[in-house]
Chain A
Amino acid sequence: MKKDYRFNQYYKSLNVFSIALILLSLIFLIFKGLNYGVDFKGGTLIEIRVETEKPDIEILRSSFNKLNLGKISIKNFGSDNDFVVKFKRDKLNDPEFIENLQRNLSQELTQDFSFRRVENVGPKVSSELLKAGVTAICLSLMAMLIYIWIRFEWQFSVGAIAALFHDVIITLGIFSALSLEINLSIVAAVLTIVGYSMNDTVVIYDRVRENLKKYSDIKIFDLTNLSINETLSRTIITSSTTLLALLSIFLFGGEILKGFSLAMILGVILGTYSSIFIANPLLVFFKVSQKTVLKEDN
């Protein structure tokens, strides 16, 4: 079963599409920004379960509003009975705060409820976590750049890194556009996307390099197309099994892993796409030829 799809004829149009997506993402990231969770913004998060059938979020909201916590946000979390309440707090030091809150709330709210999870993150810690997250993502991109530089020629490393930036920026752009929460696990997801996307690109690049050495008469434009076709089954199968696993986390892994698995799903789709349609056109752009790879071997 020989595959011969003409991927290369879509290089130009899809590149325009990708650049548009990146620009759109950047606009969202700059003007709308990211919706940071308590990990990065600081504040208090309480996951609360109300033990009645179909509890009314408005009742819960008005009960919380009476407690003078400042601006609060309440959202349904997974099941009908679970809610997440978030608000800012100046001082974390009052040890009886949660106990008092529980007592005051039980006076306001007639239904039975329980606090399933409480997270308090002080401003100092949240800014440190944010810094650590950004550093980690930057470092991983840099490490990839160095690794690929050692293993391949510079044209390849530029192509691979461009593909990585493409995936990371658009994933974050989608999170910004949909106002999805950015927390610690999203940073983990982004780093894994970086690893995965790189993995995918490396497989195709390995084949491009091998083919460059093998065929001196095929132009890079067609050679990339040949390499994509030769590795296509693998690309499809691996992204399918990875997506199946991620889909299982997304659907059955509980509410806490939703954001993480969604980011990963987006990342895997984007990563697969970019290793074909971003990483390869760049090799064409740089006019990579047999000389480029043979030079290195001497």
Chain B
Amino acid sequence: MLYFSKLKITLIALFTLFMVMVSSSNFLDLDLDKQKKIKLGLDLQGGSYLLLELDNEPVIKQKLQSKLLEIKDYFKKNKIKILSLKLDDKLIKLKVSKDDVEKISEIFSDKESTINPYYFQYKAHQLDVKINGDVFNLELSKYGIILIKNASLDQAIEIVRKRVDEVGTNEPNILKRGNDRILLELPGLDNPDRIKSLLGKTADLAFRLESESSNESFGTEKLKLIETGEELLLSKRVIISGDNLVDASPRMDSLNNQTVVSFTLDRVGSKRFAQATKRNIGTRLAIVLDGQIISAPVIRDVIAGGSGQISGGFTFQSATDLALLLRSGALPAPLNIIEERTVGPDLGQDSINAGILSLIIGFLLVIGFMTFKYRIFGIIANFTLIINLILLISILTLLEATLTLPGIAGIILTVGMAVDANVLIFERIKEETSKEKNNLIAFDNGYSKSKITILDANITTIIAAIILFIFGSGPVKGFSITLCVGILTTLFSVFFIARLLTSIYVKINKHKEIIIK
């Protein structure tokens, strides 16, 4: 165990030197583009962490509504008679004549079917079909729902990204979580209120006409005007929606000194807008945002240029926000904030200071204790500990890991526990030297006999750390990473660095009596 070839010694030395360089890049500002550094977690650098959940109910309802129409069309085209077809909460109930049941059931279970698509990757249909006499009960299958959720989540992430980018925070981190959640990390942002209010709006914009009677073919509904509270009866027909907008910006209207949002429409939108304004001069045109009317001006003339403006008693800030929302597009469904953690920058700095102070003190206490207890071997253990820390920092750097406050605690804990392996070896050597006169053999035995114990003992901690990594969230994950890496570097430094140093010491003092206190 004590023999090291020259090659091995060189390799260990080179590796350690390399790691020293890697870890030093955290403290030196070398101005390299690809310089890797440990990132500070939000709890240390300050910032906001938001977990958003997409409320997919309306999306699923809408999907079912359109499925209903699809079925109607499909049956009409294939000349199959429908006795009744209705949507009951999330269940489509389709009643047909008894003779058609078999044929229809074949259509629904056909893997090539367009009406009930088959997803080969999940080996499942979009709809679960249950036949009850002459009634088909159709329900979205588990995977049908997952696909809808995934699609709307992807769409939502895009919109969230656009909105966050428009606000211009530095290096936001936007991640998908499951199939209906978005995790948003905003470093350096100590007041997330503006982002929260921007994300809290679906920004579903529609231009709709006021209706005179409630029996219009598209249906009507009553909506409130935000400013006055006045209720207007509006047609459900959407003339142009947010999708038709190509640009929007806040502007001062010089005529009446109001802040307005001016917008530009795409070609389809311009055409439709021109037609609608031409036909409905004198009618009120309601601009509806998320189910509320922002304003409802009377159409006085044809608007043909493909641009216009929305007024609604905006302040400059609210006009800016609305323009931003319109530019970034509508969310497919409302987003709810289900978790928020914000740390101010001064608390983050305090935490860094406290973390570093306790690391230094903990380190000095352990080093002092080991030197006092083991003298020369204590110094070997301490030197090993320093190398261990350097390795730990460099591996965290190479992984570009995120350092959190519990992560710093993990490093300190590593300092405390890392000496364990050396202690196990030293104690073992102590026993061996009492039996064996030859120093080399005694040391060799000490190392080989304690090897299994050291591995056993450290594997248990690694198991705990891995489980914590899987189930932990946020800062706690940072703790499990440092703990895990810390154990690995401990094993390396004990079995290579400390063993090398011990072997050198023993070879020099081959014939002297070595006493480990």
- Is A37 among interface residues, defined by CB-CB distance under 8 A? no
B215 to A: closest C-beta gap in Å? 37
- How distant is the Cα of A129 from the Cα of B460 in the complex, in angstroms? 24
B343: A residues at CB distance < 8 A: 116-117
Chain A residue nearest to B479 in the complex (CB): A188
Chain B residue nearest to A210 in the complex (CB): B449
Interface string of B459-478 (1 = CB under 8 A from A): 11111110110111111100
- How distant is the Cα of A116 from the Cα of B464 in the complex, in angstroms? 32
Query: Chain B: interface residue count, which band?
Result: 35 or more
Selected from A114, A202, A249, the residue in CB contact (under 8 A) with B409 is: A249
Selected from B351, B417, B463, the residue in CB contact (under 8 A) with A242 is: B417
Task: Check if A147 sits within 8 Å of B420, measured CB to CB.
Answer: no
A139: B residues at CB distance < 8 A: 467, 471
Selected from B200, B339, B358, B463, the residue in CB contact (under 8 A) with A121 is: B339
Given contacts A116-B343, A185-B406, A237-B419, contact A252 B358 (CB under 8 A): yes
- Is B306 among interface residues, defined by CB-CB distance under 8 A? no
Given contacts A184-B476, A203-B424, contact A132 B471 (CB under 8 A): yes
- How distant is the Cα of A129 from the Cα of B475 in the complex, in angstroms? 13
Task: Check if A196 sits within 8 Å of B417, measured CB to CB.
Answer: yes
B155 to A: closest C-beta gap in Å? 20
- Is B140 among interface residues, defined by CB-CB distance under 8 A? no
Given contacts A119-B340, A245-B413, contact A151 B419 (CB under 8 A): no
Chain A residue nearest to B352 in the complex (CB): A254
Q: How many residues of A contact B (CB 8 A)?
A: 70
SS of B interface (majority): helix
Chain A residue nearest to B201 in the complex (CB): A95
Interface string of B166-207 (1 = CB under 8 A from A): 000000000000000000000000010100110110000000
- How distant is the Cα of A79 from the Cα of B362 in the complex, in angstroms? 22
Task: Check if B468 sits within 8 Å of A136, measured CB to CB.
Answer: yes
Selected from B336, B351, B420, the residue in CB contact (under 8 A) with A256 is: B351
- How distant is the Cα of A246 from the Cα of B424 in the complex, in angstroms? 20
Interface string of A228-239 (1 = CB under 8 A from B): 001101100110
Interface string of B412-426 (1 = CB under 8 A from A): 110111011001100
- Is A110 among interface residues, defined by CB-CB distance under 8 A? no
B463 to A: closest C-beta gap in Å? 5
A240: B residues at CB distance < 8 A: 369
- Is B51 among interface residues, defined by CB-CB distance under 8 A? yes
- Is B287 among interface residues, defined by CB-CB distance under 8 A? no
Task: Check if B355 sits within 8 Å of A242, measured CB to CB.
Answer: no
- How distant is the Cα of A133 from the Cα of B467 in the complex, in angstroms? 10
Chain A residue nearest to B406 in the complex (CB): A185
Chain B residue nearest to A197 in the complex (CB): B460
Given contacts A129-B473, A144-B460, A254-B405, contact A118 B467 (CB under 8 A): no
- How distant is the Cα of A118 from the Cα of B189 in the complex, in angstroms? 12
Given contacts A187-B476, A246-B416, contact A144 B463 (CB under 8 A): yes
- Is A170 among interface residues, defined by CB-CB distance under 8 A? no
Task: Check if A188 sits within 8 Å of B480, measured CB to CB.
Answer: yes
Interface string of A184-205 (1 = CB under 8 A from B): 1101100110111011101100
Q: Which 5 A-B pairs have the closest CB atoms?
A: A245-B416, A195-B464, A248-B362, A254-B354, A95-B196
Q: What are 10 sample pairs from A and B whose C-beta atoms fall under 8 A apart?
A: A122-B336, A122-B338, A136-B467, A203-B457, A238-B417, A241-B417, A242-B413, A245-B417, A251-B358, A254-B405
Q: A151-B456, A241-B417, A254-B355 are in contact. List 17 more A-B contacts (CB 8 A).
A: A95-B196, A95-B337, A96-B197, A115-B344, A116-B346, A125-B51, A132-B472, A143-B467, A147-B463, A191-B467, A199-B460, A234-B420, A234-B427, A241-B415, A245-B362, A249-B358, A264-B413
